[in-house]
Chain A
């Protein structure tokens, strides 16, 4: 059993939890992920590690409540326990040797981009962070990002924070201002990573994306997380989750993400029905 020692609400649908998992904390590196299961009937869901505290023996996860499991997770509180928590899985990101990097996080992706920015900053690289959200109420980790970056650009789709546009617009602007990045890291929705990769390809800038497909075991056993990279089939769990954004077949990944859409809706509706039942009881 794994104890939730801290819970924070970051915006209306995004929550942070610090979980006691000393073995995982000892080894976790930016780019890696964990798989958790809430209870006996629960599914295994992969979440990227947002931070770790080796002294306290804790691992931080940040998640968006989109489906049944993440909503159920969001209802847990400090002091509650998760049944299973396994990791660190996947390969750590290779961040050494870069001088100037643009780190891009779209929505919840900024939570996953944060440890990368933090590590790059600690390694002495010049770090420009671009984060994008639908509106200003959804902005997360602004303070944290500021601390680990030399420049922070926060954009909103509707312009409600005074800076309207997509992350791709912001990146393009920075590049055209003359910033020479030797690496771009893009983490967020598949469509965002696709668009960023398309843009950086035009400029010939190496780009890493973090893939987070459906998976069961996270150790290479099920093959459910397979994707096509450079024409070859790769398993996100063991070959990734970081891949060269210019090589990833995003259209296929977007299609594969739809595989359980109906079931996800069904599970969520059943869950909300039960909650409704409890409230009315």
Chain B
């Protein structure tokens, strides 16, 4: 008999006023009892609408049934068949716009907590089991993967499971891409990311760090001299965008990339125990309305800022951030300045930020993105007194690879042109996926692209 409660079993969280002073994980995860109780809310629909909402086709009703039966190890194996990074997806996927959106239970009440269950299963497995990958027959064919973020790791894992010799080239000193430098510890603990990467290594994948492809080796050299028969580019969306307003080069203005990389990858929150510093004023303005803006704002709060503002030019309804992130940010005391657009950043005489001038906005007709276009209200300018400004308005793909690879076509905005189903690019044997193709998107979409590309690379190499 299913559990007919209209609400998800609540997941324990750190209290907002305690967690906004530490970098420990916000959500604490289900206990075994909670997981079983939540799993029993699943109706085991025959037509499985949830699965169609998952970019990597996790066998959702099947794994949830196993959880309900208390078969957690089997549940993990079921997820792992199609998803090589379950502990990560359980935490950072926007389930509300994917699997959970299609859940029949969501028609009346809350959907099944698919993400929470996935997270529980992955954590349970990590705590209780040792992953031993099955031996696969080697095909003796080498594939190179550029970038060790979600797209690259997924593609590498899938190809290794098929028997390919896979080498990942990572530019940073630590693998993980955005999972390491972008998403904060309190949302995605780094030790957990490294464990998931360890699992990919156990499949036989070699990861070479400190290798900037396009500089130290070109894609052509990988293919012609280093013996790689196919290449997957999952190098992410690297270049931070700025607004082009006055004062953006003042001291105290950060791109969200820089701010978060200092904190997450370089562990600046432990300075001077670690050597990389970060500057956070008493008052901080974060410009933007996506998940990255929420991450930056919540990190600034944790580093001791008293007032942290989210400055966003549209209204909350148009914010691209996940509902949960907005909710968490508000709970932690982040101040939302909606329908406000920065017009310039004001500086002291010696070049430090002292304020950000904004203008009030109102929403007009929908624009090309379908969202209502914000229009400035003339004469409504005002100044927020802040010492730190963090720009989180997006990023574009890094040109290092496209500019060093003849025959690899890209869009004018920088994204690599790749087939949506296969990831095939204009250059034979070269595939691409994730933010390098789409521009900044989500972890799970990148994983989906890595997965499709792995399948396409397998087909390409079999027919070569």
Contact = CB atoms under 8 A, between A and B. Distances in A.
A127 interface: no
A156 B373 CA distance: 62
B363 interface: no
Given A88-B216, A89-B212, A43 B275 contact: yes
A85 B173 CA distance: 8
B4 interface: no
A87 B173 CA distance: 12
A263 B249 contact: no
A135 interface: no
A203 interface: no
Nearest to A90: B215
B59 interface: no
Given A222-B257, A267-B271, A86 B210 contact: yes
B211 A222 contact: no
A278 interface: no
A80 interface: no
Contacts of A89: 212, 215
Interface stretch (B49-57, B261-269, B284-292): B261-269
B267 A41 contact: yes
Contact of A255 (B212, B265, B273, B350): B350
B315 interface: no
Nearest to B182: A221
Interface string B204-230: 000001111001110000000000000
A22 B258 CA distance: 29
B251 A27 contact: no
Given A41-B275, A217-B172, A223-B242, A27 B215 contact: yes
Contact of A221 (B217, B239, B266): B239
A256 interface: yes
Contact of A219 (B212, B265, B273): B212
Interface in B93-110: none
B271 A219 contact: no
Contacts of A43: 266, 274-276
A224 B242 CA distance: 12
Contacts of A23: 211, 216-217
A160 interface: no
A228 interface: yes
B96 to A, nearest CB: 29
A226 B248 CA distance: 10
B320 interface: no
A233 interface: yes
A55 interface: no
B20 interface: no
A222 B240 contact: yes
Nearest to A216: B261
* Chain B: number of interface residues, binned into ranges: 35 or more
A229 to B, nearest CB: 11
A93 B284 CA distance: 39
Interface in A88-130: 88-89
Interface string B48-70: 00000000000000000000000
Contacts of A169: none
B261 A217 contact: yes
B258 A219 contact: no
B180 to A, nearest CB: 12
A270 interface: yes
Contacts of A88: 215-216
A27 to B, nearest CB: 6
Contact of B171 (A83, A86, A255, A260): A86
A259 B270 CA distance: 19
A84 interface: yes
A83 B210 CA distance: 10
Contacts of A259: 251-252, 279
A233 B249 contact: yes
A238 B209 contact: no
A260 B278 CA distance: 8
Given A24-B216, A86-B212, A263 B258 contact: no
Contacts of B173: 37, 44, 83-84, 86
A220 interface: yes
B238 interface: yes
Interface string A258-281: 111001101100100000000000
A68 interface: yes
A168 interface: no
Contacts of B279: 259-260, 263
Nearest to A34: B210
Contact of B351 (A69, A85, A255): A255
Contact of A267 (B210, B257, B266, B275): B275
Contacts of A68: 275
A42 interface: yes
Contacts of B351: 252, 255-256, 258
A220 B400 contact: yes
Contacts of B217: 23, 27
A219 B40 CA distance: 49
Contacts of B399: 220, 238
A227 interface: yes
A69 B252 CA distance: 23
B255 interface: yes
B271 to A, nearest CB: 7
A255 B274 CA distance: 25
A27 B216 contact: yes
B38 to A, nearest CB: 39
B255 A238 contact: no
Interface in B344-378: 350-351
A259 B252 CA distance: 8
Find the residue from B210, B262, B398 having the highest chain A CB count within 10 A.
Answer: B210
A111 to B, nearest CB: 22
B251 A223 contact: no
Contact of B258 (A224, A255, A264): A224
B238 A220 contact: yes
B209 A84 contact: yes
A221 B398 contact: yes
A221 B249 contact: no
Contacts of A227: 249
Give the 4 A-B residue pairs with the shortest CB-CB distance, closest first.
Answer: A263-B277, A222-B258, A255-B351, A43-B275
22 contacts: A41-B274, A41-B275, A43-B266, A68-B275, A84-B173, A86-B171, A86-B173, A86-B210, A86-B212, A87-B216, A216-B261, A216-B265, A219-B215, A220-B238, A221-B181, A221-B239, A221-B261, A221-B398, A233-B242, A238-B399, A258-B351, A259-B251
Given A220-B238, A221-B240, 14 more contacts: A23-B216, A27-B216, A41-B270, A44-B266, A44-B276, A69-B275, A86-B212, A86-B216, A216-B258, A219-B400, A221-B261, A222-B257, A223-B255, A260-B279
